[in-house]
């Protein structure tokens, strides 16, 4: 397997769970109220360790996407506080990448130049250096053959892989994914789920993953937050005990299916509360 | 070859049908040449007057192109300014709409009065008529960038300048091209409108100058324009639409 960033791999990975001290990401009493008075998120508490893969799942309107925007600093919170590796969200953007529901590729740039975008905006890297990095990442997601194509020539799944490659190009410590595979068919989604886990083995980035799919959440995460709506709150946290690396066959294992059942019933409970 | 044939067969067929229909109608309904000359007569007139027409075409093309290019430069700069804030758009956009809705025939005499009736003024008339489509379309493109793309740039700590050059401007290019297409066509109308007023001051040099020139000659059935009853230049209301039509035809043929 190709590793584009050999230096950092083990350092982050091995210290992930064993280091005592302050958690990597902390959310305290995080509340978000819209200008019209609707409270979309209320009193969210969370401690996140390095390397955690956290799925946020819940009915629409529970504020899971809003929570992601608060963590990324794209949207200000009303009260409470968020600390990311000792920084406020706005200052932590250099170590974060956001992957949107649509691939958000720039149609006027080639695939390779799209992957370079983050590096280019940050500056401090020569054009050849950026281009070499982009090629490496495209190789990593298996798309080196389309590096000089334009996004319109790619399928939805390929676009998403380009989007992932772009997000990883800046070597983020935190990956925020807002329903990235929601618009894809199930086979492509399963494949990309496996890709995400494989890529995570490389850099051990901490991940927040918003999804509507229970099996996707169980397959990917080590922690699942089930949110309820009106106001958005964490209803229940479910731990996923399966070890990494996970393989596709896990999806048909009885333990997997029973955990899917547990998350589904938690979701049903949340929905009936409404 | 086959593909080439399939691409061009219909356009060519339609063109021939129009020409034949025109010639046929002139014959069939015995339309006097001073009402509607046939295609051959028009072609003959163009060939006969080619030097005058070519000169007139160049003058008008220069004025139209000058106004067009100016409107592209100014339009993009104004659009960039408009894209900065909704307050700017709310305050200034009505004036650009005013520019668009006031008929160019009402503005043209003023411009010629203010700036004299030279090429520069005619260019200015073309510029004014071209400006709005460029501003409106480019501004729309600049401000309609999807929120997720803006957020993507914010997450990369992009500067305002990067946001503009690497995101908003490239995103606005398709809209800009719509503006360019509209303005490209109407720049000629602007130039000719300007010339009409310029030539009424006997200083204009483009199409209408030629029009005057032709009108002062003895009536001829080869000329697709009818001079006034007494051989004088026809009154303005009569001149205006015909002049436009004639110049459009001349431009096509040249």
Please give the Cα distance from B198 to B206 (Å, whole number). Answer: 9
Domain annotation covers residue A133: no
Please give the Cα distance from B53 to A151 (Å, whole number). Answer: 49
At A136-162, the pLDDT tens digits run: 999 988 999 999 999 999 999 999 999
Cα distances (angstroms) measured from residue A68 to each of A55, A64, A228: 11, 7, 15
Residue B59, phi-psi category: left (phi > 0), alpha (psi -120 to 50), beta (remainder): alpha
Please give the Cα distance from B5 to A83 (Å, whole number). Answer: 68
Owning domain of residue B15:
1-31
Residues 131-160 of B with CB under 8 A from A: 146, 148-149, 151-158
CA dihedral A77, A83, A86, A92 (to 10 degrees): -50
Q: What is the pLDDT of residue B248?
A: 52
B228 in the same domain as B195 = yes
**Best residue in B146, B155, B161 to probe A by mutation, most A CBs within 10 Å?**
B155
Q: Is A122 near chain B, with CB under 8 Å?
A: yes
B164 in the same domain as B112 = yes
Reduce the DSSP state of residue B206 to 3 states and report it: coil
Owning domain of residue A82:
16-106+174-273
Domain annotation covers residue A53: yes
Please give the Cα distance from A38 to A57 (Å, whole number). Answer: 20
Q: For strands A25-33 and A39-48, give the pairing.
A: antiparallel
* Residue of chain B minimizing CA distance to A101: B148
Q: Among candidates B249, B231, B212, which has minimal Cα distance to B46?
A: B249
Task: Please check whether residue A93 is in contact with residue A73, taking contact to mean a CB–CB distance below 8 angstroms.
Answer: yes
B37 Cβ contact list (under 8 Å, min separation 6): B26, B45, B221, B222, B224
Q: What is the pLDDT of residue A210?
A: 96
Q: Identify the CATH number of the domain in which residue B125 sits.
A: 1.10.3720.10
* CA of B168 vs chain A CAs: smallest distance (Å): 11
Nearest to B152 among A104, A120, A122 (CB): A104
B80 in the same domain as B184 = yes
* CA of B96 vs chain A CAs: smallest distance (Å): 30
Indicate the number of domains in chain A.
1
DSSP-assigned states of every residue in A179-229: STTTTS-HHHHHHHHHHHHHHHHHH--EEEEEES-HHHHHHH-SEEEEEET
E runs forming strands in chain A: 25-33, 39-48, 53-57, 79-84, 96-99, 174-178, 206-211, 223-228, 233-239
Q: What is the pLDDT of residue B173?
A: 96
Q: What is the pLDDT of residue B204?
A: 43
Residues in A touching B152 (Cβ below 8 Å): 98, 100, 104, 117
At A237-269, the pLDDT tens digits run: 999 999 988 999 999 999 999 999 999 999 999
B50 Cβ contact list (under 8 Å, min separation 6): B254
* Residue of chain A minimizing CA distance to B151: A74
Domain annotation covers residue A159: no
B16 in the same domain as B75 = no
B60 in the same domain as B132 = yes
B81 in the same domain as B51 = yes
B40 in the same domain as B66 = yes
Cβ <8 Å between A106 and B149: yes
Residues in A touching B149 (Cβ below 8 Å): 104, 106
Q: Is A121 near chain B, with CB under 8 Å?
A: yes
Please give the Cα distance from B39 to A68 (Å, whole number). Answer: 70
Domain annotation covers residue A94: yes
Mean pLDDT of A97-109: 94
DSSP-assigned states of every residue in B117-143: SSHHHHHHHHHHHHHHHHHHHHHHHHH
Residues in A touching B174 (Cβ below 8 Å): none
Cβ <8 Å between A104 and B154: no
In order along its 254 residues, chain B shows pLDDT tens digits of 688 888 899 999 999 999 999 999 999 998 888 889 999 999 999 999 999 889 888 989 999 999 999 999 999 999 999 999 999 999 999 998 888 888 888 888 888 888 887 888 999 999 999 999 999 999 999 999 999 999 999 999 999 999 999 999 999 999 999 999 999 999 999 999 888 887 654 344 444 555 555 545 444 444 444 443 334 444 343 344 444 555 555 554 44
Q: What is the pLDDT of residue B116?
A: 83
B132 in the same domain as B7 = no
Over 70: is that where the pLDDT of A217 sits? Answer: yes
B145 in the same domain as B114 = yes
pLDDT above 70 as % of chain A: 92
Over 80: is that where the pLDDT of A17 sits? Answer: no
B242 Cβ contact list (under 8 Å, min separation 6): B225, B234
The two three-digit tokens of residue A186, written as one number? 């199930």
Reduce the DSSP state of residue A33 to 3 states and report it: strand
Domain annotation covers residue A124: no
Q: What is the pLDDT of residue A16?
A: 43
| CB pairs < 8 Å spanning A and B | 43
B211 in the same domain as B237 = yes
Residues in B touching A98 (Cβ below 8 Å): 151-152, 155
Q: Is B170 near chain A, with CB under 8 Å?
A: yes
Task: Please check whether residue B97 is in contact with residue B135, taking contact to mean a CB–CB distance below 8 angstroms.
Answer: no
Residues 56-95 of A with CB under 8 A from B: 72, 74, 93-94
B206 in the same domain as B172 = yes
Please give the Cα distance from A16 to B181 (Å, whole number). Answer: 58
Domain annotation covers residue A256: yes
At A159-212, the pLDDT tens digits run: 999 999 999 999 999 999 999 998 889 998 999 999 999 989 888 899 999 999
Indicate the number of domains in chain B.
2
Q: What is the pLDDT of residue A245?
A: 85
Cβ <8 Å between A106 and B154: no
Cβ <8 Å between A100 and B173: no
Q: What is the pLDDT of residue A21?
A: 64
Nearest to B158 among A102, A106, A121 (CB): A121
Nearest to A102 among B148, B154, B155 (CB): B148
Q: Identify the CATH number of the domain in which residue A89 sits.
A: 3.40.50.300
Q: Is A100 near chain B, with CB under 8 Å?
A: yes
Mean pLDDT of A87-109: 94
B10 in the same domain as B83 = no
């Amino acid at each position: 397997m190709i590793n584009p960033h050999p230096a950092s791999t083990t350092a982050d990975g091995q210290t992930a769970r064993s280091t005592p001290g302050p958690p990597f990401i902390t959310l305290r009493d995080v509340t978000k109220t819209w200008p019209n008075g609707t409270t979309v998120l209320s009193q969210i508490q969370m401690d996140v360790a390095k390397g955690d893969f956290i799925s946020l799942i819940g009915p629409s309107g529970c504020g899971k996407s809003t929570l992601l925007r608060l963590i990324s600093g794209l949207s200000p919170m009303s009260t409470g506080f968020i600390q990311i590796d000792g920084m406020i969200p706005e200052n932590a953007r250099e170590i974060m990448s956001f992957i949107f529901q649509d691939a958000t590729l720039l149609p006027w740039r080639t695939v390779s130049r799209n992957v370079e975008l983050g590096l280019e905006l940050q500056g401090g890297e020569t054009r050849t250096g950026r281009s070499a990095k982009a090629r490496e990442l495209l190789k990593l997601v298996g798309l080196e053959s389309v590096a000089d194509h334009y996004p319109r020539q790619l399928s939805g799944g390929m676009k998403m892989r380009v989007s992932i490659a772009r997000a990883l190009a800046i070597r983020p410590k935190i990956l925020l994914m807002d329903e990235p595979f929601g618009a894809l068919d199930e086979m492509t989604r399963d494949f990309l789920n496996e890709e995400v886990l494989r890529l995570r083995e490389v850099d051990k980035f901490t991940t927040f993953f918003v999804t509507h799919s229970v099996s996707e959440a169980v397959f990917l995460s080590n922690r699942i937050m089930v949110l309820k709506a009106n106001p958005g709150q964490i209803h229940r946290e479910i731990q996923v005990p399966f070890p990494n690396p996970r393989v596709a066959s896990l999806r048909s294992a009885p333990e997997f299916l029973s955990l899917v059942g547990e998350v589904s019933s938690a979701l049903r409970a949340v929905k009936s509360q409404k | 070859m086959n593909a080439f044939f399939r691409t061009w067969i219909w356009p060519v067929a339609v063109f021939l049908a129009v020409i034949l229909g025109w010639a046929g109608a002139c014959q069939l309904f015995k339309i006097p040449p001073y009402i509607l000359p046939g295609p051959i007569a028009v072609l003959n007139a163009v060939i006969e007057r080619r030097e005058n027409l070519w000169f007139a075409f160049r003058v008008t093309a220069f004025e139209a192109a000058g106004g067009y290019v100016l409107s592209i430069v100014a339009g993009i700069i104004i659009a960039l300014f408009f894209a900065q804030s909704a307050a700017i758009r709310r305050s200034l956009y009505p004036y650009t709409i005013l520019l668009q809705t006031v008929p160019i025939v009402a503005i043209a005499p003023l411009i010629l009065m203010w700036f004299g009736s030279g090429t520069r003024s005619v260019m200015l008339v073309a510029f004014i008529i071209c400006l709005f489509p460029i501003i409106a379309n480019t501004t729309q493109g600049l401000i309609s960038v999807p929120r997720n793309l803006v957020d993507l740039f914010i997450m990369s700590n992009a500067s305002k300048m990067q946001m503009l050059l690497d995101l908003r401007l490239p995103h606005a290019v398709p809209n800009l091209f719509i503006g360019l297409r509209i303005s490209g066509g109407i720049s000629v109308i602007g130039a000719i409108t300007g010339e009409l007023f310029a030539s009424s001051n006997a200083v204009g040099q483009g199409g209408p100058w030629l029009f005057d020139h032709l009108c002062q000659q003895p009536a001829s059935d080869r000329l697709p324009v009818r001079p006034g009853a007494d051989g004088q230049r026809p009154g303005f209301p009569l001149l205006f639409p015909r002049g436009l039509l004639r110049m459009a035809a001349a431009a096509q043929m040249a």
